[in-house]
Amino acid sequence: MAIIAEKKQIETSWDYRNANTKKVTHCFHSYPAMMIPQVAERLIATYGKGANLLFDPYCGTGTSLVEANIKGINAIGTDLNPLARLIARAKTSIIDIHVLDLYLKDFNDLAFSLNFGIEKPPVILPKFKNIDFWFSKTVQEELAVIKKFIESISDENIKNFFYVAFSETVRESSYTRNSEFKLYRMSEKQREKFNPNVFSLMTNKLSRNKKGLIEYIELIKDKKVYSDIKNFNTVETIGDIEEKSIDIIVTSPPYGDSKTTVAYGQFSRLANQWLEIKDANKIDNKLMGGKRTKIQKLDIKELDTIIEKINNIDNKRAQEVFSFYFDYYKSIKNVSKTIKKGGYVCYVVGNRKVKSITLPTDKITRIFFEQNGFKHIDTFVRNIPSKRMPKRNSPTNEVGKTETTMNNEFIVVMKKI
């Protein structure tokens, strides 16, 4: 075990380097900074014994909700990104596979006839800014045909199942560089050669997802469990969650504000635009730290000191960092109200660097919870072997000067006393 900080050891048993992270419905859709299902599974098994209700306040695509349901535990998740909620819903919904098969057959018939030159049915192309910048005309027409097909599905769960495959198809048939989470357009040379088969992209996703869904249904079919995916912001409220009703939280909050860290909204933008989500290009502003707050002292030495250090170098960056932590502080205050006495929270966080200064988010998380009636149980340090995260960035904003960002994650476990 390598020691990386005082009393903190990297525990390689949390790496899950060669584990299959795409089993059951976890195969559905890629998303930035996803939690490893094995981490969620282990935390729930260790700290969720006898639990009835799990909550994930930044549920993303619902990794911990899926794992809770597999263990017979009900789950509530919230996320401000509509695409994340769509995926989380689809990953935790049971569908009658015979009915799904009927729709899949209809879809395959449609794809077959169009691939073999039968005239496309008339479609209305969606209108959003820059659609021609991101999609060729042919791709737009084919996506519109698929969208029309999905809109005709009456069963909500089956519709969502198709929309999830559609969202990935949108991304992969667009001119965005697929290896990047942010939207970067392919070069002209690449665009000239790019000729995606939209229907086969879609059918491949559908058949992969159907396999995952069958595996998932097999695991939960005898368990009477639910997942309830909501749309509220814990920075402001606990929505309709009852106070002291939650047994366990397993979550991975954002590492920082979306604009300067992981741009969830930007990653999801094209899909959200095709799904006609209002203000799809403004999601990142709504996420944690998206709105600038004036720096103030929170009387937390660890936080106040780093904000001051960054402020001495760059006032704007200090404000961005503070805005994130201030929202995080308010969110933890609200989230704390939902937990039962004796309940656990498990936060998987990253200590990113800003201006070469490491932000001790693990310690700050611990302190925020301690202020709200929790005691610290443990902090595990894990390597990030395979997460799709930028390993290097430019924290000083100097051209060409990059630094290793995060190779480790911290799993902070707290208990309500």
Ligand X SMILES: C[S@@+](CC[C@H](N)C(=O)[O-])C[C@H]1O[C@@H](n2cnc3c(N)ncnc32)[C@H](O)[C@@H]1O
Binding region for ligand X (CB under 6 A): 31, 33-35, 58, 60-61, 63, 78-81, 84, 233-235, 252, 254, 264, 287-288
Of 145 and 270, nearer to ligand X (C-beta) is 270
Q: H or E element: which one contains 378?
A: strand 374-383
Q: Cα-flanking dihedrals φ and ψ of residue 37, to 5°?
A: -55, -35
Nearest distance, CB of residue 256 and ligand X, angstroms: 10
Residue 210 C-beta: closest distance to ligand X, Å: 21
DSSP helix/strand/coil, 339: strand
If the CB atoms of residues 111 and 164 are measured against ligand X, the closer one turns out to be 164
CB of 252 to ligand X, least distance (A): 4
Of 169, 110, 119, which Cα lies nearest the Cα of 139?
Answer: 169
Residue type, 46: T
Q: Which residue, 80 or 86, is less far from ligand X as judged by CB?
A: 80
Q: Which is nearer to ligand X, 144 or 413 (CB)?
A: 413
| Residue 223 beta carbon to ligand X: minimum distance, rounded to whole angstroms | 21
Q: Whose CB is nearest to ligand X?
A: 60
Nearest approach, Cβ of residue 64 and ligand X (Å): 6
For residues 367 and 399, what is the distance between their CA atoms, to the nearest angstrom? Answer: 36
Whichever of 203 and 233 has its CB closer to ligand X, that residue is: 233
| Nearer to ligand X among residue 33 and residue 144 (C-beta) | 33
Query: Residue 287 class from Cβ within 10 Å (0-12 exposed, 13-18 middle, 19+ buried)?
Result: buried
CA 69 – CA 227 distance, rounded (Å): 7
Q: Which amino acid is at 352?
A: R
Distances, alpha carbon 270 to alpha carbons 32, 199, 214, 281, in Å: 15, 18, 29, 9
Q: Cβ 313 to ligand X, closest distance in Å?
A: 26
- Give 311-316's long-range contacts (Cβ < 8 A, gap of 24+): 313/355, 314/355
If the CB atoms of residues 84 and 310 are measured against ligand X, the closer one turns out to be 84
In the complex, minimum distance from the CB of residue 15 to ligand X, in angstroms, rounded to a whole number = 17
**What letter represents residue 214's amino acid?**
I
Greatest C-alpha distance within the chain: 69
Hey, what are 201's tokens?
């992209």
Phi, psi angles (nearest 5°) of residue 190: -65, -40
| Closest distance of CB 305 from ligand X, Å | 25
CB-nearer residue toward ligand X: 106 or 236? 236
